[in-house]
Structure 1
């Protein structure tokens, strides 16, 4: 009987600890999320500068010559692999009319795997490395792939995920026309 009470007490203490930890994590998450501005369509996007695989520096945010698609992805992501041919196709077709930055969420990826993915997919657009996760955090990234369509004035037009190639092309044509 004493043993059962001891086990019950221990289980109760563990449950209490779990509830406390969960509550603490939720409060911490809501505070940090509240500290970042919400991304809204037609609002300016958060600015960031990242290094590319090619060694160059790339900026997002503010006025640009061409509209921009910022695609967050990872080499271990199955849907990212599915999406890669459509990204390459639409970029090759419209590359003079819009920019495409593929932002690798490097914090959860390995650089060699990133290079392999880029070579296999034959990306000809800039691949940026978000090594600290700051860009992903600023854009409130929940999962990959996620793309942000940004007009020439640096305003968010739309957030999209994996689309069939024809639908992706329609979105890019509308972005170019905006």
Structure 2
């Protein structure tokens, strides 16, 4: 009787594994649905308001909170990053140059969003990279999830009216930033240098 129970138990175990796999694939993810929807809409040229613009997030290395809505009227390069991320380290000087060009022209800023990181590590990273642009902490990755940011780095260019004009899922480049900032109606003189 024991030998006949083994195939039955293996069959039940197999069914349980299949059920677990189906459950894992069918349940809502942490940002995947938002990512697919947001990406498709932006790529189709639709007007997509920046998600969660009213979410107040704690400032990194400063007291108080900041909301994306507080920056309305300015172009915002929203960059999701983490101190442990090698591509984030590589793109930090470009983001700093971009911030300085936008701020000097008075048309915008870069806003960093630390994701899955400790405040201490994030602050050390920002200091090591010479980042002068504002950054906020995203406890629980709620803002990142609203943008479908399931990795780091990810960059979103938001126009002065609070609409997403372009996104770059992965390490950003000067070509992407210049093209995206033009879509957001930033004058050529305020674009970061190549």
TM range (shorter): 0.7 to 0.9
SS at match of 1:132: helix
How far apart in 2 are the matches of 1:151 and 1:35?
20
- Pairing partner for 1:140 from 148, 154, 162: 148
Instruction: Give how far 1:89 is off.
Output: 1.6
Q: Is 1:79 paired with 2:87?
A: yes
Q: Tell me which of 72, 77, 96 is aligned to 1:88.
A: 96
Does the aligned pair in 2 maintain the 1:45–1:61 contact within 8 Å? Answer: no
1:50-91: per-residue Cα shift (whole Å, max 9, x none)? Answer: 111112321124881211111011111111111111111221
Question: For residues 17-40 of structure 1, what are the alpha-carbon distances to aligned partners after superposition, in whole Å with 9 as ceiling and x for unaligned?
Answer: 22111211222216x966999323
Which residue of 2 is the match for residue 13 of structure 1? 12
101, 105, 125: which one pairs with 1:117?
125
TM-score by length of 1: 0.82
Corresponding residue pairs, total:
173
Give unpaired runs (5+ residues) of structure 2: 189-194
Question: In structure 2, the residue corresponding to 1:133 is in which secondary structure?
Answer: helix
Give the structure 1 partner of residue 49 of structure 2: 44
**Paired position in structure 2 for 1:163:** 172
Give TM-score, length-normalised by structure 2: 0.76
